[in-house]
Structure 1
Amino acid sequence: EPPEGGWGWGVMLAAMWCHGAVFGIQNSCGVLFVSMLRLFGSSEDKQLVFKTAWVSSLSMGMVFFCSPIVSIFTDLFGCRKVAVIGAAVGLVGLLSSSFVSTIEPLYFTYGILFACGCSFAYQPSLVILGHYFKKRLGLVNGIVTAGSSLFTVSLPFLLRVLIDSVDLYNTLRVLCILMFVLFLAGFTYKPLVPNTKDTEGGKKGKFKLPPAKKICNFSVFKVLSYRIWAFGIPAALFGYFVPYVHLMNHVKDRFGDSVPEEVLLLCLGITSGVGRLIFGRVADYIPGAKKIYLQVASFFFIGLMSMMIPLCNVFGALVAVCLFMGLFDGCFICIMAPIAFELVGAQDVSQAIGFLLGLMSVPMTVGPPIAGLLRDKLGTYDVAFYLAGVPPLIGGAILCFIPWVHERQKLKAKAKPVDGETTEKMLENESTLVSDTTEKPVKELDSGF
């Protein structure tokens, strides 16, 4: 049983820093995006927004695309080693991004190398929490994921000040400090559950590579409710990352420099953190797979708010939209791990989360460049934001079926053991009857004497 505290509180803080460093930088990409347009762009390039959007989009997509691979490494070598090596790779990628002179090398240094390192550091922070908490897992997940909100609130203003004073290159070097602290935080992930390396080869024995079935555990896809969840969420995310990348540029197009566009990321970050804490705690009181309904409501409101962005002709209305969007964004994120535990169990949760995040990478990578291409062709972001609101509504509708499917699966699973138990009881009854008949004469003789 998980200890429900102790060293787990230190692990929680380390995981909180991980979420803050990784997604604080990723969610603040709108500020970096505007700076990249100014630094690398030229008036002759008609596809400038499309090209630049690939940097941030590729980075966020790779964080999730690597997740199935990261889950395999986590099962093989444990959370601590994977997290520490991942943070080191991310540090190298971010540092090398500060020495490029054109936009193209950033596709590799920032979009792939830095993002892969973040992915290897991020996923163990989700898995390790299940080792230390069970009853409080929803609350702890809410606190941990709120780390990204705290960084999303503060980083845009810090990045704006740094970029204006020391340029983009030195700003990226300052961000390397966050990755170095993340490297140190990975050492706190003390494993309580043995990894595959220990179970297969023994702690003192030589390491044997386990069978392929244990390395790639595709058996999670045999669970129908997980299959629906793993394909329903990616379907909802084609427009999810579009506001984070393009909202700042949309504000500049519509309102010019007369408004502080960083306030919008501040609103997203604050309410996202509040949503993670509130809905993480609420999820602890919702039984089983019915937690999915929280995600359904989240996608409905996220889609609706995305469609309302072009309708906001006053900056205050845009602030209100971002407040609501952040609140339900926090709800969607904080209950991902608890839902995975409900659908597949603790034994398979690492790879279940890994496969889900890997499938999420495709829509999250494709969405922002398509929005940038629409902006280049049409001269406005209006159509891009309208279209970005459609996939969450579709994905939410798909997820509605999961609790019903999951309950049917549980009923079927209960029916099978019951049949087995009844046959065992019948055999036991028969054996007791036989023993009773043999013992009766002996008892009668004893009573006769």
Structure 2
Amino acid sequence: MVQEEEAASRIVQVQDRGWAWVVLIATVLVQGLTLGFPSCIGVFFKDLQYDFQASNSETSWFPSIMTAVLHAGGPLCSILVERFGCRTTVMLGGLLSGVGMVASAFSKSISHLYITAGFITGMGSCFGFQAGVTVLGYYFIRRRALANALASTGVSIGLTLWPLISQYLLDEMGWRNTFLIFGGVLLNCCVCGAVMRPVPVQPPALSMKSCPEQSTEGAHLSNGNTLHHKEHLPPSLCAACFQTLQKYLAFDIFCKNKGYQIYTIGVTWMVMGFVLPLIYLVPYAIFSGVEERKAALLISIIGFINIFMRPMAGLLSGLSIFTGRRIYLFSVAVLLNGLSNLICAISAEYSILVLYCLVYSVSMSVIGALLFQVLMDVVEMDRFSSALGLFTILESVTILVGPPLAGLLVDVTGHFSYVFYASAFFMVSAALFMGLSFCTMEAKNKLTETHKLPLPENPSRGKYTEVPTELGPDKNGPPAVIYITSI
């Protein structure tokens, strides 16, 4: 009992205060080094095409694989987090990211780049990013919305700095030496992971109470049912694989939790268009006659505005008026983000592109600040790691095919503007699907709850009625009470 009280006091001391803010700073840096990194790939698009004699579709596979693996590695990351903890997983991710970029500097073909910078660096970025998001959920409880918003500013810092640094290093020493330097920079994720020490976990009361019952049951089995116990065959390989997938991919939550199901499908469809502007904006500007340095500055403008807008979006979503309604705020942001792509598609003048970046970055800030916060609202925190694994691996499918299909569209039509029309279509349709689906589900839940309320007056009030002392399968008995929880 004393040990439980000491563990609880240690949890109170680290959550939402003290070392939690150090972990938050480390998570900001990790997200800037991982999630922000793919934004600079557009700077190298033209040089990679020239050196490897590759088409737009072939070149776009490189950032597509990197971003897809960054999301698809979620289940493996969940296994590593459960087995070794968030600290070791982030450090391993930093090591893989650095090794992948160093190896990519010696690539002889575009296919080699798919493996080194695409797969290896993407997998390392996945470990660092997802383990960092998971550890925030344990260090912050009351201020979790603010912590997620502040952590997402790391992506904004990465969006601001990576393109500018990439363009400068590319002009000075070429893309191979630049990738070599990037490998050393990404190793700093190991330093960030070192400060993410585990949170003291209080033993759950349920498991403490169930120990005597479990021991009694075990003794009973060993004394009376020994022969029957030996007759049980070990589970088959297929059953073991199914249990493992269900544990780390949260298929049970996907089937039972309607909110998680709608949100996962909506975001999976959304990201097919969400990643396209960040990859094709710089090539589009250069193709339209904009100077390379000014074209790279466009991504930095988006990132710079995100630095200030994401914390504001996190503070806004933390207000009591948005409690249980963050999904609607998220859907509106996705809708505006999709409509903003029409500005870029209409004209490629630099002033219009700057205006597009200003409008696009505001909606992008809200999306980035709420993406994982809404997921934490929809699922329980003790299953968040596995829910995040399924959530991101489904995202990776559309992320993988989105940019190459957009590159194929450019190769066929010869116009980059169709990429932004396609992005607008995916974003707007996803926003309408999520917003209307949650609205319909909430209305249905309220209707069900209303029908389950007891009648205000009972005609037989005041009369004696015999109440059975035992519950039986009486079909004429009162209906069971159904408790509806909010999304």
What TM-score range do you get, normalising by the shorter chain?
0.7 to 0.9
Which residue is equivalent to 1:159?
Answer: 166
Question: How far 1:232 sits from its partner (Å)?
Answer: 0.9
**Structure 1 unaligned blocks of 5 or more:** 42-46, 200-208, 419-428, 432-449
Q: Is the alpha carbon distance of 1:24 and 1:409 closer, same or farther for their aligned partners in structure 2, counting shifts above 3 Å?
A: same
One-letter amino acid matched to 1:23: L
Which residue is equivalent to 1:231?
Answer: 265
Q: Please, which of 380, 398, 413 is the counterpart of residue 415 of structure 2?
A: 380
Distance in 2, matches of 1:298 and 1:287, equals 14
Counterparts of 1:316-327 in structure 2, within 5 Å, are 316-327=351-362
Identity of aligned pairs, percent?
24
Which residue is equivalent to 1:352?
Answer: 387
One-letter amino acid matched to 2:130: Q
Which residue is equivalent to 1:312?
Answer: 347
Which residue is equivalent to 1:38?
Answer: 50
Q: Is the alpha carbon distance of 1:414 and 1:356 closer, same or farther for their aligned partners in structure 2, counting shifts above 3 Å?
A: farther
Which residue is equivalent to 1:81?
Answer: 88
Question: How far 1:430 sits from its partner (Å)?
Answer: 11
Q: Please, which of 102, 106, 128 is the counterpart of residue 109 of structure 2?
A: 102
Determine whether 1:49 maps to 2:56: yes
Distance in 2, matches of 1:259 and 1:109, equals 27
Deviates more, 1:397-406 or 1:140-149: 397-406
Q: Is the alpha carbon distance of 1:176 and 1:232 closer, same or farther for their aligned partners in structure 2, counting shifts above 3 Å?
A: same
SS at match of 2:324: helix
Determine whether 1:10 maps to 2:26: no
Question: How far 1:377 sits from its partner (Å)?
Answer: 1.3
**Contact kept? 1:289, 1:339, Cα under 8 Å:** no
Which residue is equivalent to 1:371?
Answer: 406
Question: How far 1:189 sits from its partner (Å)?
Answer: 1.5
**Contact kept? 1:67, 1:354, Cα under 8 Å:** yes
SS at match of 1:134: coil
Distance in 2, matches of 1:67 and 1:195, equals 26
Which residue is equivalent to 1:443?
Answer: none
Question: How far 1:256 sits from its partner (Å)?
Answer: 4.3
Question: How far 1:58 sits from its partner (Å)?
Answer: 1.1
Which residue is equivalent to 2:438?
Answer: 402
Deviates more, 1:76-85 or 1:164-173: 76-85
Q: Is the alpha carbon distance of 1:23 and 1:214 closer, same or farther for their aligned partners in structure 2, counting shifts above 3 Å?
A: closer
Question: How far 1:195 sits from its partner (Å)?
Answer: 11
Q: Is the alpha carbon distance of 1:259 and 1:76 closer, same or farther for their aligned partners in structure 2, counting shifts above 3 Å?
A: closer
Question: How far 1:242 sits from its partner (Å)?
Answer: 1.1
**Contact kept? 1:98, 1:172, Cα under 8 Å:** yes
Which residue is equivalent to 2:232?
Answer: none
Deviates more, 1:256-265 or 1:123-132: 256-265
Task: Describe the superposition over 1:169-202 as per-residue Cα deviations: whole angstroms up to 9, x where unpaired.
Answer: 1111111232111111111111226599xx9xxx
**Contact kept? 1:275, 1:329, Cα under 8 Å:** no
SS at match of 2:197: coil
Question: How far 1:269 sits from its partner (Å)?
Answer: 0.6
Q: Please, which of 271, 274, 277 is the counterpart of residue 240 of structure 1?
A: 274
Q: Is the alpha carbon distance of 1:35 and 1:5 closer, same or farther for their aligned partners in structure 2, counting shifts above 3 Å?
A: farther
How does the TM-score come out when normalised to structure 1?
0.83
SS at match of 1:190: coil
Which residue is equivalent to 1:261?
Answer: 295
**Contact kept? 1:280, 1:335, Cα under 8 Å:** yes
Deviates more, 1:253-262 or 1:26-35: 253-262
Determine whether 1:27 maps to 2:42: no
Task: Describe the superposition over 1:266-308 as per-residue Cα deviations: whole angstroms up to 9, x where unpaired.
Answer: 1111122222111111111144431011211111111112222
Determine whether 1:133 maps to 2:152: no
Counterparts of 1:164-175 in structure 2, within 5 Å, are 164-175=171-182
Question: How far 1:101 sits from its partner (Å)?
Answer: 2.3
Instruction: Please tell me the root mean square deviation across aligned C-alpha atoms, in Å.
Output: 2.8
Q: Is the alpha carbon distance of 1:234 and 1:63 closer, same or farther for their aligned partners in structure 2, counting shifts above 3 Å?
A: same
Question: How far 1:32 sits from its partner (Å)?
Answer: 2.1
Which residue is equivalent to 2:251?
Answer: 218
**Structure 2 unaligned blocks of 5 or more:** 1-10, 208-239, 455-466, 470-487
Question: How far 1:77 sits from its partner (Å)?
Answer: 2.8
SS at match of 2:32: helix
One-letter amino acid matched to 1:281: L
Which residue is equivalent to 1:289?
Answer: 324
Q: Please, which of 269, 278, 283 is the counterpart of residue 249 of structure 1?
A: 283
Distance in 2, matches of 1:195 and 1:113, equals 36
Question: How far 1:33 sits from its partner (Å)?
Answer: 1.8
